[in-house]
Structure 1
Amino acid sequence: MTQVTMLSASQISHLLDMPAVIDAVADAYKEKVNHPATLWPMVYEQLGGEEDMDIRSGVLASKHVFGSKLLAWFGENAKRGLPELNGLVNLYSSDTGEPVAVLNATALTGFRTGAAGAVASRLLANPDATTLLVVGTGSQAPYQIMAQLCVLPKVTQVLLANPRDAKKAQAAVQRSRVIVTATPSTKPLIQADWVQPGTHLNAIGADMEGKQELDAKLFQGAQAYTDDVPQASEVGEIQNPIKAGVIKPEQVVEIGNSLLDPTLGRHDANAITIFDSTGIALQDLAAANLAFVRAKEQGVGTQVDL
């Protein structure tokens, strides 16, 4: 009989802390480059105008786990008094193939997505940046702010911009040197001429063909990074400048390579750097495994015999 640990959103929130998740995600990025970690093909499906789902899976060999996450986004759920994001992460032992944990994907996704942007900002943002802007005020915004503050100690001002208010968004962009976009937008929210030299941007929202948060012209002359070049070229923010002929996929650097080779980081203080975070299964597995290990240590979770 197989025993599986079930972890709720509340339990995950108590088990995880953002600095530890940031480090776990950074390690997963490096493992992707060194090949003890592997991604499997993603599944996307547009279920309607304001609904979509995706399935991400892979193996994190160093932790002896593999697994998958199914996450559904229903944009109209707020009007129903329901969460917009719902899903589960299934974690398996890569030694025996047995399921070991089932975790609430909503809390886990918040932590790992916030951590992904923080890994990039820690590496690429100007360390003297004092103003952070988050474009988008949905469920991801608190995690992004929390994660950015963990790695940007000189930030003294955090701005929030409603993407529907272009005039205020423009003013906020011009004042900020670290910018996070976390929306389901299908048209550019930030124009190239709004962004000042030395700015770092984390484009979080694009994870499906047709999504876009940044003006494709912004990539002209910028240093572009992502979590997985093939995936991002099809569904990430960089799909748009690639289609427009502004950049080529081979010009984009995977963040794991930059973590292992500092020469691939920011070239100078005035450069504009962009991290396209499409979200990969290794982030989910790293965060899920961290929560599972801590749950075992602390006796947290519901044990189910399958």
Structure 2
Amino acid sequence: MLLLTDEHVRSLTQMSDLVSAIREGYRTQARGGAQLPDRINLESTPGFFRLMPGVSAGTGLMGFKVFNQVSEGGVQYLIGLFDELTGELLAQLDGAYLTAARTGATTGVAAGLLAPRTAVEIGVIGSGLEAETNLEGVFAALEVKRVRVFSPNPQRRNAFVERMAARLDVEVVPVSDPAEAAAAPVVVVATNTGAGTGRIALEGKWLAPGTTVLSIGSTMPSLREIDTDVVDRAALVVSDAPEQARMESGDLLAADEKGLLDGKIVTLADLAIGRVPAHDADAITVFKSVGTALQDLVAAKVIYDRAVQNGIGTTVDLLRTKKPAGA
């Protein structure tokens, strides 16, 4: 078994490779090659504990991600990657950065399927790690000519602009109003405005016809990113896990209360194989991400393969004891 730290994962991550692998993973899922039960959410006294298992028969993978959050200890992530055919535990990976990277790669997949094929401007609302990785995912999937960034904290906003301009070698400019970022043809929203604040990061009235909205956060009922007008104006809402999103995302729960999702929500897997009707060029489209074990396993396999090729990580020999069937 190979142990890979967060430092190892960061050094091995190539966003374009993750986008390609996850796109193929969703095609496998659309063909029935993935078992992804609802994730298990358990409350603990200071926080929560979440387990996300999955089997992807099309890739020979099975495994899980487990993570927890406590009030003082932050969030801890662990991904376990198994070979489906042999049952061998291939690797355990620190999933902190990889979770943000695979989320960005999944957004890149959605952007490549929903957004214009020509060079576009990107609007980003947010300036944290997921704003970084999701912009990188979109950049790996689209031809980007300029990026506008809004974040309510000017210092964080400017630091993000400098960091991403150097990393992506593209013009990145700060804007002082979220509506300016939302005026771009493709808008990445990667900021939870907080539980119970009543604040929304993106309002539907800011969007021009034909905008693609990539909404990343709001994976808890109490968190919001976009208002219901965004969903109301959209002709198509795509989700990596529609049923899960309708139970967990504050954005989609609010839209569901108004009956705004009926007839317009589809899976990313169906979109990946063209099983979704074509939409008009002036239609607003929305991608709502909540994350799945498929993304974790596919991304972990990409990192594991690169680690083996480059001799990176710590190998641990585990004792293997065979027991009779049913023991």
SS of match in other structure, 2:39: strand
Q: What is aligned with 1:289?
A: 301
Q: 1:243 to 1:163 in 2, by over 3 A?
A: farther
Q: What is aligned with 1:9?
A: 6
| Structure 1: unaligned runs, 5 residues or longer | 78-83
The 8 Å contact of residues 44 and 208 in structure 1, kept in 2 or not, is answered as: no
Q: For the residues of structure 1 that align with 2:216 and 2:43, how far apart are their CA atoms?
A: 18
2:123 maps to a residue whose letter is L
TM, length-normalised to structure 2: 0.82
Is the counterpart of residue 20 in structure 1 residue 33 in structure 2? no
SS of match in other structure, 1:172: helix
TM, length-normalised to structure 1: 0.87
C-alpha deviation, 1:99, in angstroms = 1.7
Q: What is aligned with 1:156?
A: 145
Q: For the residues of structure 2 that align with 1:129 and 1:52, how far apart are their CA atoms?
A: 42
Q: For the residues of structure 1 that align with 2:133 and 2:276, how far apart are their CA atoms?
A: 29
Superposition RMSD on alpha carbons, in Å?
2.4
Residue in structure 2 matching 1:242, options 221, 239, 256: 256
Q: What is aligned with 1:276?
A: 288
The structure, 1 or 2, with the larger RCO (C-alpha pairs under 8 Å, 6+ apart) is 1
Q: For the residues of structure 2 that align with 1:150 and 1:119, how far apart are their CA atoms?
A: 9
Q: What is aligned with 1:176?
A: 184
Q: What is aligned with 1:229?
A: 242
Q: What is aligned with 1:81?
A: none
The 8 Å contact of residues 266 and 276 in structure 2, kept in 1 or not, is answered as: no
Q: For the residues of structure 2 that align with 1:25 and 1:150, how far apart are their CA atoms?
A: 13
Q: Deviations over 1:175-230 (max 9, x none)?
A: 31111111233443211111111110111102122322111122124111111221
Aligned runs of 1:199-214 on 2, under 5 Å? 199-214=211-226
The 8 Å contact of residues 125 and 181 in structure 2, kept in 1 or not, is answered as: no
2:16 maps to a residue whose letter is P
Q: What is aligned with 1:130?
A: 120
Q: For the residues of structure 2 that align with 1:54 and 1:244, how far apart are their CA atoms?
A: 29
Q: For the residues of structure 2 that align with 1:213 and 1:48, how far apart are their CA atoms?
A: 27
Q: For the residues of structure 2 that align with 1:234 and 1:135, how far apart are their CA atoms?
A: 24
| Structure 2: unaligned runs, 5 residues or longer | 155-174, 319-327
The 8 Å contact of residues 112 and 287 in structure 1, kept in 2 or not, is answered as: yes
Q: For the residues of structure 2 that align with 1:120 and 1:228, how far apart are their CA atoms?
A: 13
The 8 Å contact of residues 181 and 187 in structure 2, kept in 1 or not, is answered as: no
C-alpha deviation, 1:98, in angstroms = 3.0
Q: 1:201 to 1:52 in 2, by over 3 A?
A: farther
Range that drifts further, 296-305 or 269-278: 296-305
C-alpha deviation, 1:85, in angstroms = 4.3
Is the counterpart of residue 60 in structure 1 residue 59 in structure 2? no
C-alpha deviation, 1:53, in angstroms = 4.7
SS of match in other structure, 2:50: strand
C-alpha deviation, 1:43, in angstroms = 2.1
1:241 maps to a residue whose letter is A
Q: For the residues of structure 1 that align with 2:68 and 2:145, how far apart are their CA atoms?
A: 35
C-alpha deviation, 1:159, in angstroms = 2.1
The 8 Å contact of residues 225 and 274 in structure 1, kept in 2 or not, is answered as: yes
SS of match in other structure, 1:145: helix
Q: Deviations over 1:16-64 (max 9, x none)?
A: 2111100111111122221111102212356689x65532111111222
Q: For the residues of structure 2 that align with 1:273 and 1:238, how far apart are their CA atoms?
A: 14
User: Which structure has the larger Rg over C-alpha atoms?
Assistant: 2
Q: What is aligned with 1:141?
A: 131
Q: For the residues of structure 2 that align with 1:126 and 1:76, how far apart are their CA atoms?
A: 43
Q: Deviations over 1:55-76 (max 9, x none)?
A: 2111111222211112345687
Q: For the residues of structure 1 that align with 2:258 and 2:190, how far apart are their CA atoms?
A: 22
User: If each structure's strand is expressed as a fraction of its own residues, which one has the higher value?
Assistant: 1
Residue in structure 2 matching 1:114, options 88, 95, 104: 104
The 8 Å contact of residues 129 and 177 in structure 1, kept in 2 or not, is answered as: no
SS of match in other structure, 2:134: helix
Q: For the residues of structure 2 that align with 1:134 and 1:72, how far apart are their CA atoms?
A: 28
